[in-house]
Chains A and B, each alone.
Chain A
């Protein structure tokens, strides 16, 4: 249960809101690099944190993220021409560079300095891995660039997709640290999904449906450990790191690639779910990449030319009652990603958390909400830099390990939970 005013604080991310200002402290994914594939490629409309912008890549390969609307009459620059080092409005020909600076106003005299005083709001756009990242906070508070391992390994070791989720970011993110739903909602996938199946850990998962949970503070967020019986003298631990504000890693299974997510608010009723797979020590195989492209694992099959899943709320997520009866999919919905989105969207655009009935097993969610609220209020009150901004906080890993029954999961897994180039991941 959460008071209505705290629910509003955590779910509203527009300009000037406490949580919106918190998100603006971080480098966040703005779009995939594939969306701007070459110099002078068509501009892309981007809405993030309730601000409408336009991303483009100019003739020299520079990326820009600027206000979507022309300063002249407010027409969308999406209709503009991306050419010769800038984006020209289709209406009256005003032209802007990647910083949002007007560089030509054709109606003014040739030697006029009018355009020097016209600048659209803009944010940096930086390619790291297959993601274009932005920082929407104050330029003088811009932190160092992010150092998440999935975006730093060689290109052949990583794959990322994104999908539109029609719900507030918080209920999508909360699914990422809610380990107890996996044995239920995703139980079918553990047996059949090509990116999950075959791991010894899956047996431990399915043989013990009542895990114990431990939640431990981390410098950048939390570690959530789910403990299940393994052998007589050991436990199977699945450890999920959360880096603030909304980055999580799924504990790995066998030698499968490691999955993870970033949830980014589009506005208060929609978010992007960025989902990735990477392997820290080897290239992804063709079979793995084909499975990811087909929407297996944490990925979704999207409507061609869009990032909207084929299975969405307009078609009841292609619910298949026969598959549900057969036990193929616990909910009747195919695919891990859509299993999550179908239930999270069913809660409504912003779930009313004053009506929920949490149990102590939801301690990870309870603690995460508390950390977000405290960080947002501390930022508002005295400018405290929140956890997760420092790139050192990004160098984490998830882990799936079998430990002696008396071992503490954090101390015993310290090395496994730290990202280092070329180090194998800890997985069962």
Chain B
């Protein structure tokens, strides 16, 4: 069938035709969960939590917690919460490490819990890669997307880009 209207062929990619694109508000992401894996990351996460986000939630790891590392999270408001509850409505877990000794056990717990629920995982390792080898090694099996040599602004950029 030969197209007889502009909008029924590839010529509809013109700027003029772009006016007719269906334009409805895009709903933001509801399920971003951002977890700091160490003290440096916790400072960043607390700062980010004060920014206006769509529905992103921000956590640190409790200094002392019941059960395996990572099974409980600390909200930036101060209260503790079970990981399982926080992942119930989650759709992406973003882990942030600033130190080479980021908890590998917590990463594994978070990664496995996300994988079981079909939740995407991403991680940002801040700092030069040569100083973050252990952290990167711990993150690699569990972060489907890993930004290494990252800068602080990468975290906000990533969260903004994915409408967190």
Rounded to whole Å, the gap between the CB of B54 and the closest CB of chain A is 10
Judge whether A317 and B10 touch: CB under 8 Å: yes
Judge whether B10 and A366 touch: CB under 8 Å: no
Judge whether B144 and A213 touch: CB under 8 Å: yes
What is the 8 Å Cβ interface bit string for chain A, positions 215-238, against chain B (1 contact, 0 not)? 111000000000000000000000
Residues of B within 8 A of A361 (CB): 120, 144-145
Rounded to whole Å, the gap between the CB of A342 and the closest CB of chain B is 7
Judge whether B120 and A367 touch: CB under 8 Å: no
Closest residue of chain A to B142 (Cβ to Cβ) is A212
- Give Cα A352–Cα B15 distance, bound, in whole angstroms: 11
- Give Cα A200–Cα B129 distance, bound, in whole angstroms: 30
Judge whether B162 and A316 touch: CB under 8 Å: no
Judge whether A349 and B14 touch: CB under 8 Å: yes
Judge whether A363 and B13 touch: CB under 8 Å: no
Closest residue of chain A to B8 (Cβ to Cβ) is A316
Closest residue of chain A to B149 (Cβ to Cβ) is A217
B146 close to A (CB within 8 Å): yes
- Give Cα A231–Cα B58 distance, bound, in whole angstroms: 37
| Given A215-B147, A360-B122, A410-B129: A366 touches B158 (CB 8 Å cut-off) | yes
Report which of A2, A316, A410 forms a contact with B3, defined as CB distance below 8 A. Answer: A316
Chain A interface residue bracket vs B: 35 or more
Looking at chain B's contact residues, is the secondary structure mostly helix, strand, loop, or mixed?
mixed
Report which of A167, A362, A408 forms a contact with B137, defined as CB distance below 8 A. Answer: A408
Judge whether B18 and A348 touch: CB under 8 Å: yes
> Which positions 210-267 of chain A face chain B at CB distance < 8 Å?
210, 212-217
Residues of A within 8 A of B120 (CB): 359-361
Residues of A within 8 A of B146 (CB): 212-215
Report which of B17, B18, B92, B161 forms a contact with A366, defined as CB distance below 8 A. Answer: B161
A166 close to B (CB within 8 Å): yes
- Give Cα A346–Cα B130 distance, bound, in whole angstroms: 42
Residues of A within 8 A of B145 (CB): 212-215, 360-361, 363
B133 close to A (CB within 8 Å): yes
| Given A1-B162, A313-B10, A316-B10: A360 touches B144 (CB 8 Å cut-off) | yes
Interface residues of A (CB under 8 A from B): 1-2, 166-167, 210, 212-217, 269, 313-317, 342, 345-350, 352, 355, 357-363, 366-367, 370, 405-406, 408, 410-411
Known: A214-B145, A316-B10, A346-B10. 17 other contacts (CB 8 A): A1-B26, A1-B161, A2-B161, A212-B146, A215-B148, A216-B147, A317-B10, A355-B26, A357-B163, A360-B94, A360-B158, A360-B162, A361-B145, A363-B147, A363-B158, A367-B154, A410-B129
| 24 A–B contacts from the bound complex (CB under 8 Å) | A1-B160, A1-B163, A2-B161, A212-B145, A213-B146, A214-B146, A214-B148, A215-B145, A215-B147, A216-B147, A346-B10, A349-B14, A360-B162, A361-B145, A362-B162, A366-B161, A367-B154, A367-B157, A370-B154, A405-B141, A406-B140, A408-B129, A408-B136, A410-B148
* Top 7 A-B pairs, shortest CB-CB distance: A360-B122, A217-B149, A313-B10, A366-B161, A214-B146, A360-B145, A216-B148
